[in-house]
Amino acid sequence: MSVLTDKKSTTCIDSSTQSPYQKLENVINSNDAFNELFSSSPCPMVLIMADTQKVIKVNDRFLVLTGYDRRAILSWNVNRLRKMIFPEDFNSIRKSLRYNQSVKDYKCKFNVRSQDGRMALITIKYLLWNRQKMILITVVDISETIELKSHIERLSGLNLVGQLAASIGHEIRNPMTTVRGYLRFMQKKPNFSEYTEQFSMMIRELDRANEIITDFLALAKNRVNGLAIQNINEIIEDISPLVEAMASEIGHSIEFSLQPIPNILVDKIDIHKALINLVKNGFEAMENKGKIIVKTYKEESYVVLQIIDEGEGIPKEIIEKLGTPFFTTKEKGTGLGLSVCYQIAARHNALLDIQTSAAGSIFSLRFPSQE
């Protein structure tokens, strides 16, 4: 009768009562070098017996990624793991294993317990251990990397638009101001009284073009001089008559729910711009008479400014593109309003996140608080 000695407990284990599966597991667990590499790896890893297709070892990083405990995962087999990979990706992985006997850095969506659709790089290799074939699966979560890349691309787009605005914005606005002045002058002449509506239409279009240029210039400015310790509630109360008038003019309503919040370092003009842009977006998202709620509250180490609308929500395929200059779903939009909001958030080291459903959308600006 042969025995294996468990180094941790120094207890003799009768190998004659163990299955081949248990024997192999003990051999693997007794290999200190492998266990050290496997356990300390920064990448989530799982080891599977090829013949039984049972999970026999999993490291801590895999537990963190998936949200399951060790006992649960050690009861899994390959079929349970394959449910974490999208079907089309699993078929591609299986084909690659069939022809190449390995998979290296395959990019796919990987479902975990907390949420679906994490992006991951999956590597699969066959190992031969004690004459038993093993499958080693390594998963690298790249969701945050992809999100960071998206933010960098958005900021690069904002920077490009800002440079364009700074170089030509004023040159375009000056002749437009002259043209608008002459149109207003001619509109008042009795000889052109029958063309009043046409003049008004041209002036409106010039005003709209001027608003677009203003948004361009807002992207170009790096406001730092306006930063001061202020209370966002007071800033909102200062501009509330304007947004209430905006709501009344188009048949909507607006409600303010301002909770006590600490003073923070903000630019008053930037907060005005962000609030007006987000409220206007909310109004445009609601076809019938609807209500916008403007909320403020303290959340852990953040002061939150929240704009809630009753629109139909934003499709998933559009959310990722929001904030990109010139991307818009509105017939007369430019896509610069949210771009300005993202830039304001960046200037304040704040976070702008969006939650949406069929019942409406919630835009939240989270400003860091020193308290």
**154-173: pLDDT as tens digits:** 666 666 666 666 566 656 76
How confident is the model over 15-43, as a mean pLDDT?
Answer: 64
User: Residue 220: pLDDT above 70?
Assistant: no
pLDDT value at position 230?
93
pLDDT of residue 10: 35
User: Is a pLDDT exceeding 60 seen at residue 11?
Assistant: no
CA distance 199 to 203: 6
Angle, CA 152 vertex, CA 213 and CA 327 arms, to 5°: 40
CATH fourth-level superfamily of 224-371 = Histidine kinase-like ATPase, C-terminal domain (3.30.565.10)
pLDDT at res. 327: 46
Looking at per-residue confidence, does 137 or 5 come out higher? Answer: 137
Please give the average per-residue pLDDT across 356-371, as a whole number: 87
The model's pLDDT over 39-54, given as tens digits with 9 standing for 90+, comes to 888 888 898 888 888 8
Which of these ranges, 159-168, 226-235, 297-306, has the smallest mean pLDDT? 159-168
Among 104-113, 154-163, 230-239, 293-302, the least confident range: 154-163
Least confident span in 25-34, 75-84, 298-307: 25-34
The fraction of the chain above a pLDDT of 90, given in percent, is 14
264 to each of 83, 235, 303, 340, 342, how far by Cα in Å?
46, 12, 8, 20, 19
DSSP code, position 263: -
Domain 31-141 has CATH 3.30.450.20: yes
User: Does residue 276 register a pLDDT over 60?
Assistant: yes
- Asked if residue 5 has pLDDT above 50, the reply is no
**One fold for both 31-141 and 224-371?**
no
Which of the four CATH numbers 3.40.190, 1.10.357, 1.10.287, 1.10.3470 does domain 143-221 have?
Answer: 1.10.287
Summarised one tens digit per residue, pLDDT across range 337-359 is 677 788 888 888 999 988 888 88
Contacting residues for 23 by C-beta, under 8 A, at least 6 apart: 4, 15
101 contacts 112 by C-beta, under 8 angstroms: no
Q: How confident is the model at residue 262 (pLDDT cuts 50, 70, 90)?
A: very high
Residue-by-residue DSSP string for 72-123:
HHTT-BHHHHHTTB-HHHHHHHHHHHHHHSEEEEEEEEE--SS-S-EEEEEE
Cα–Cα nearest to 310, from 293, 323, 294, 296: 293
Q: Is the pLDDT of residue 15 over 50?
A: no
Confidence at residue 12, expressed as pLDDT on a 0 to 100 scale: 36
pLDDT tens by residue, 99-136: 777 888 888 888 777 555 678 888 888 887 777 788 88
Across the chain, mean pLDDT equals: 77
If DSSP codes are grouped into helix, strand and coil, which group holds residue 216? helix
pLDDT of residue 108: 83
Q: What is the pLDDT of residue 219?
A: 56
The pLDDT value given to residue 256: 95
Report the SS3 class of residue 45: strand
Domain ranges, ordered by start, for the chain: 31-141, 143-221, 224-371
User: Pick the residue with more confidence: 326 or 204?
Assistant: 204
User: What is residue 231's predicted lDDT score, i.e. its pLDDT?
Assistant: 95
Give 336-339's long-range contacts (Cβ < 8 A, gap of 24+).
336/161, 336/212, 336/215, 336/216, 336/218, 336/219, 337/215, 337/277, 337/280, 337/281, 338/277, 338/281, 339/157, 339/158, 339/161, 339/215, 339/219
Contacts of 173 (CB under 8 A, 6+ apart): 210, 213
pLDDT at 147 over 70: yes
Handedness of CA 39, 40, 44, 48 (dihedral sign): negative
